[in-house]
């Protein structure tokens, strides 16, 4: 059997599988046709790809982390043998998180935005939560995937390589009413807390436990949550962000505190 005949048979089989919405295992490659280089490649959505046990084991061996989780793309699925590997090793299976919508960058050459005065009316989306991540861990990425599953309206403010610039962008968006609240998730929180609370109109709270965040929401209605992810668990981070994204109602209970904050911001 000639190479040309083999290539023709492979193309016919792959085409038939494509019409059924099924692709070959991840390691398989279609034999190129002689005139493939001359034909333009049309963009197509990814077809279903089934990962065999062998491919899954290779992927696990190449994982930099602890190998306790399997991350699949939206078009990837496990064969029965691969599912057996998952069960035997007690692995978690999750889908890769989609990218968050990016906040629009400021126009080139535009001056730095100024914070809106305290109490200014919001002109953006009060249900949206601005999110700034710095050096996210695998746990933080899992939290992000869960929050997307919760269908929270998240906007990414991690626009530059500088966390200081990104925190300022997020604070300006909150103070200006572009988003209703924000969450900054960093390895360490103290530096971001000092910076954020210097921005007029920002009332930042450090997320240590869900109970303390709930208390802060009642006392002084913070609009920025700063989480130190090196000291927080998956469930704590998810609960705190969900609490912060919940609809807000009523007035803060700490009346004297709020009056003093307003007086300081007017001075």
CATH classification of the domain holding 142 = 3.40.1400.10
Most trustworthy range by pLDDT among 77-86, 135-144, 182-191: 182-191
Task: Indicate the pTM of the whole model.
Answer: 0.58
Residues 140 and 239 in one domain: yes
Most trustworthy range by pLDDT among 72-76, 87-91, 125-129, 190-194: 190-194
Nearest to 124 by CA among 176, 167, 172, 159: 176
Residues 69 and 163 in one domain: no
Q: Is residue 155 part of a domain?
A: yes
Q: Is residue 117 part of a domain?
A: no
The residues that bridge with 156 in the sheet, in sequence order, are 102, 131
Q: Is residue 71 part of a domain?
A: yes
Helix (H, G, I), strand (E, B) or coil at 92: strand
Residue 222 to residues 70, 74, 182: CA-CA distances in angstroms?
36, 36, 10
Q: Is residue 84 part of a domain?
A: yes
Averaged confidence pLDDT in the chain: 79
Residues 69 and 167 in one domain: no
Residues 174 and 254 in one domain: yes
H or E element, residue 227: strand 224-228
Residues 257 and 212 in one domain: yes
Between 220 and 58, the higher pLDDT residue: 220
Q: Which of 95, 116, 133 is the last residue of a domain?
A: 95
Cβ count within 10 A of residue 133: 22
Cα angle at 58 between 54 and 64, to 5 degrees?
A: 155
Range of the domain at 204: 125-266
Q: Using only C-alpha atoms, what is the Rg of the chain?
A: 25
Does residue 82 have a pLDDT over 70? yes
Asked if 231 contacts 187 with a C-beta cutoff of 8 angstroms, the reply is no
Q: Which of 76, 95, 114 is the last residue of a domain?
A: 95
Average pLDDT over residues 230-237: 93
Q: Is residue 161 part of a domain?
A: yes
The 10 Å CB-count burial string (b at 16+, else e) for 182-196 is bbbbbeebeebbebb
Task: Please give the tally of structural domains in the chain.
Answer: 2
Residues 197 and 258 in one domain: yes
Q: Is residue 246 part of a domain?
A: yes
Residues 84 and 135 in one domain: no
Q: Is residue 159 part of a domain?
A: yes
Q: Which of 56, 75, 95 is the last residue of a domain?
A: 95
């Amino acid at each position: 059997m000639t190479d040309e005949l083999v290539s023709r048979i492979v193309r016919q089989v792959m085409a038939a599988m494509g019409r059924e919405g099924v692709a070959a295992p991840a390691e398989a490659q279609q034999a190129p046709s002689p005139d493939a280089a001359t034909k333009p490649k049309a963009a197509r959505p990814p077809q279903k790809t089934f990962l065999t046990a062998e491919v899954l084991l290779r992927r696990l061996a190449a994982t930099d982390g602890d190998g306790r989780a399997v991350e699949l793309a939206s078009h990837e699925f496990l064969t029965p043998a691969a599912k057996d590997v998952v069960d035997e090793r007690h692995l978690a299976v999750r889908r890769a998180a989609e990218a968050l919508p990016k906040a629009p960058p400021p126009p080139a050459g535009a001056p730095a935005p100024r914070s809106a005065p305290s109490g200014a009316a919001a002109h953006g989306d009060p249900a949206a939560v601005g999110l700034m991540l710095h050096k996210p861990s695998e746990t933080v990425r899992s939290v992000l995937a869960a929050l997307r599953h919760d269908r929270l309206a998240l906007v990414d403010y991690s626009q530059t390589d500088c966390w200081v610039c990104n925190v300022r962008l997020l604070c300006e968006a909150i103070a200006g009413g572009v988003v209703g609240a924000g969450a900054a998730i960093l390895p360490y929180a103290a530096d971001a807390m000092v910076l954020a609370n210097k921005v007029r109109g920002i009332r930042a709270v450090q997320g240590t436990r869900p109970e303390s965040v709930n208390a802060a929401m009642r006392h002084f209605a913070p609009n920025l949550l700063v989480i130190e992810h090196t000291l927080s668990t998956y469930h704590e981070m998810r609960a705190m962000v969900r609490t912060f994204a919940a609809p807000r109602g009523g007035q803060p209970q700490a009346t004297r505190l709020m009056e003093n904050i307003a007086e300081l911001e007017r001075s």
